């Protein structure tokens, strides 16, 4: 499977709960076929206090499947083609 999405790319979520959200790819997980997108698919995590961190309820990004995201350039080209 050809990987078109890379770290640092701007993507749009095309399916699921976060449809229409845009963000920057923070990490690509090729074995799991998932990507981590900044500010998208946030989940709350209860962290225990340690010597290094304070703890509490922290919001973190969770991975999305590659099939649910599209490069922003392709998304805009597709929407421009539909409108004309």
Rounded distance between C-alpha atoms, residue 81 and residue 58, angstroms: 41
Residue ranges per structural domain of the chain: 10-83
End-to-end Cα distance, the chain = 32
With a cut of 50, list the residues of the chain below it in pLDDT. Answer: 1
List all residues 6 or more positions away from 54 whose beta carbon is below 8 Å from its beta carbon.
none
Distances (CA, A) of 9 to 4, 57, 59, 83: 10, 29, 22, 25
pTM higher than 0.85: no
pLDDT for residue 3? 56
Task: Assess if CATH 3.30.2350.10 describes domain 10-83.
Answer: no
pLDDT for residue 53? 87
pLDDT tens, residue by residue, 19-34: 999 999 999 999 999 9
Other beta carbons within 10 angstroms of residue 12's beta carbon come to: 23
């Amino acid at each position: 499977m050809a990987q078109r999405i890379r770290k640092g790319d701007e993507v749009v979520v095309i399916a699921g709960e976060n449809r229409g959200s845009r963000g920057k790819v923070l990490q690509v997980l090729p074995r799991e076929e998932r990507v981590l997108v900044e500010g998208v698919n946030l989940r709350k995590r209860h962290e225990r206090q340690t010597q290094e961190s304070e703890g509490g309820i922290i919001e973190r990004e969770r991975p999305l499947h590659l099939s649910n995201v599209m490069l922003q350039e392709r998304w805009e080209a597709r929407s421009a083609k539909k409108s004309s």
